[in-house]
Structure 1
Amino acid sequence: MTALHSLARGPSIEFDQVSLTLGRTTILDNVSFKVQPGTLHALVGPNGGGKSSLIKTLLGQMPHQGQLSLQWPGEPGVIGYVPQALEFDRGLPMTVDDFMAAMCQRRPAFLGLSRHYAAAIGEALERVGMQDKRKRRMGALSGGERQRVLLAQGLIPAPQLLVLDEPMSALDEAGIQVFERLLGDWRQAGITLLWIEHDLEAVGRLADRVTGLHRRVLFDAHPQQALTPERLLTLFSTHPRSADVVSGSVA
């Protein structure tokens, strides 16, 4: 890990007793863990366990109690976000280029790509294997192809912190290979990656560290210590046992 940290361009992230209550429902309960700079940190847990809510607190989209801090190696950098899915009217005559223009530039998309972003958009689409479908309507793309476009928009501008919300969920095998290649590129560049993922095999193979979240932190450890049958059973059970039984950092 030392080599990764020494090359890190991304920040560390510290969640310190972060809580979130909506009405009478506790969404997050005193969540505390730290993401090391320049590492791939996975967040796993059941649906409704608070993973996406925690991400929204990080992105400033939800109120919370407790402290959440980012420590940048220099000046604050760019935070990128790749959502799980794209909700839009598939009947809209919006091409891939139109979508990328709308997401990446201030100039109205109907005026076309600005010269400032054209090269970067072309490079991003090429990296995800969508360069030859730039003129296709977004509504005509498969779910996996749309997910690749979402990955491409997460590359512009180049982020130092990238938040990924189940990016593999709609990808086919070829798309998964593209995504894993991007992960390697991002890690080599020293980007901090916070990755929500349900594919535990991929998490065990690719992540530097894993946090299990079911309203509260049930474990925070390296994958080989985190993804044991006992811990996963506790994480995905309807009524998790006391966090004292399975939580705590493991070196």
Structure 2
Amino acid sequence: MTSKATIPGDAQSPVGASLLAKASSQAISSLNDTAQSRADSRLQVSGPTLDFADISLTLGRTTILDHVTFQVRPGSVHALVGPNGGGKSSLIKTLLGQMPHQGRLSLQWPGEPGTIGYVPQALEFDRGLPMTVDDFMAAMCQRRPAFLGLSKHYAKAIGDALERVGMQDKRKRRMGALSGGERQRVLLAQGLIPAPQLLVLDEPMSALDEAGIRVFERLLDDWRAAGITVLWIEHDLEAVGRLADHVTGLNRRVLFDATPRQALTPDRLLSLFSTHPRSAA
């Protein structure tokens, strides 16, 4: 039995609204030939199919998204690449229910609708606040006020998530004292609670150091093995070539949608990063 949810262009989805509530509470070239075969070899898929159908967005006289159409396969790691200002983050905001748009966006779940996790690009907060890693995780992941500490219900899940990103030993450190890469790891940890079936990542590698990148790559392998659908905005094309199952190039409109080997060619990348998008390849 499958379940389908459609996000119309003139309405905010309940799923998107719940993600927005979570996000706003923050105050805050080696290509892998076996990527597609890895995706096809999974026996169980928990994540949904995403269908972006003719999505358009205009702000004032500026066209942000121009009839964007592509599909994210269930249980795949799907990368979204393109220049700054090309509409990647705006497209994510349509999924999160933050942007009015034209067109149709639907999620087809393999069973009952699951959980959507979101990891933003950066964490904005007052670094002078005496907020520890535990405090931040409590504020993000539980209903109980953070000043009361971790609830027993979430304590194990938060500990496990911090262990997965290598931040277990820094739980009592102030968030403002962490490096940019360490804060990014904490952001990755909060995206794991509750365990998602669809995970939306907005440039998660942007502030990571080498150790953090290894953590992220291990997480990607875990998500793929668990059949989680991952929609991943990324500027590091070498990493996309190694780690993604599928790549969509977006510069206001879709310029290519293919496997990494087919997508990340010099001609297609030149077209993608040109000031004025050319015809779709």
Using the size of structure 2 for normalisation, the TM-score is 0.86
Hey, what does 1:217 align to over in structure 2?
254
Given candidates 53, 73, 94, the residue that maps to 1:57 is: 94
- Alpha-carbon displacement from aligned partner over 1:20-69 (angstroms, at most 9, x marks no partner): 11111110000000000000000000000000000010111111100000
CA distance, structure 2, for counterparts of residue 218 and residue 137 of structure 1: 43
Question: Does residue 21 of the first structure (1) align with residue 58 of the second (2)?
Answer: yes
Hey, what does 2:193 align to over in structure 1?
156
Letter in 1 for 2:51: E
Task: State, as a whole percentage, how many aligned pairs show the same letter.
Answer: 85
1:29-68 map, 5 Å:
29-68=66-105
Letter in 2 for 1:166: E
* 8 A contact 2:252–2:277 mirrored in 1: no
Question: Does residue 81 of the first structure (1) align with residue 81 of the second (2)?
Answer: no
Give the superposition deviation at 1:239: 1.2
Given candidates 190, 206, 228, the residue that maps to 2:243 is: 206
Hey, what does 1:180 align to over in structure 2?
217
Hey, what does 2:16 align to over in structure 1?
none
Letter in 2 for 1:157: P
SS in structure 1 at match of 2:137: helix
Letter in 1 for 2:114: G
Given candidates 171, 191, 195, the residue that maps to 1:134 is: 171
Given candidates 69, 83, 103, the residue that maps to 2:106 is: 69
Give the superposition deviation at 1:240: 1.9
Letter in 2 for 1:20: L
Given candidates 91, 95, 111, the residue that maps to 2:128 is: 91
Letter in 2 for 1:52: S
Hey, what does 1:116 align to over in structure 2?
153
Hey, what does 1:228 align to over in structure 2?
265
Question: Does residue 12 of the first structure (1) align with residue 49 of the second (2)?
Answer: yes
CA distance, structure 1, for counterparts of residue 262 and residue 79 of structure 2: 13
CA distance, structure 2, for counterparts of residue 2 and residue 218 of structure 1: 25
CA distance, structure 2, for counterparts of residue 22 and residue 92 of structure 1: 36
Count of matched residue positions in the alignment of Structure 1 and Structure 2: 243
Q: Which runs of no fewer than 5 residues in structure 1 stay unpaired?
A: 247-251
Q: Which runs of no fewer than 5 residues in structure 2 stay unpaired?
A: 1-38
CA distance, structure 1, for counterparts of residue 245 and residue 278 of structure 2: 26
SS in structure 1 at match of 2:41: helix
CA distance, structure 2, for counterparts of residue 104 and residue 8 of structure 1: 25
Letter in 2 for 1:242: S
SS in structure 1 at match of 2:63: strand
CA distance, structure 2, for counterparts of residue 171 and residue 114 of structure 1: 29
Give the superposition deviation at 1:3: 2.3
Question: Does residue 3 of the first structure (1) align with residue 49 of the second (2)?
Answer: no
CA distance, structure 1, for counterparts of residue 277 and residue 40 of structure 2: 34
Hey, what does 2:181 align to over in structure 1?
144
- Alpha-carbon displacement from aligned partner over 1:63-94 (angstroms, at most 9, x marks no partner): 11000000000110000000110001111110
CA distance, structure 1, for counterparts of residue 144 and residue 221 of structure 2: 32
- Alpha-carbon displacement from aligned partner over 1:205-234 (angstroms, at most 9, x marks no partner): 111100000000000000000000000000
Letter in 1 for 2:258: A
Using the size of structure 1 for normalisation, the TM-score is 0.96
Stretches (4+) displaced over 3 A: none
* 8 A contact 2:196–2:228 mirrored in 1: yes
Given candidates 210, 231, 245, the residue that maps to 1:194 is: 231
CA distance, structure 1, for counterparts of residue 277 and residue 58 of structure 2: 19
Give the superposition deviation at 1:2: 2.8
CA distance, structure 2, for counterparts of residue 104 and residue 174 of structure 1: 25
Given candidates 91, 107, 111, the residue that maps to 2:144 is: 107
Hey, what does 1:249 align to over in structure 2?
none
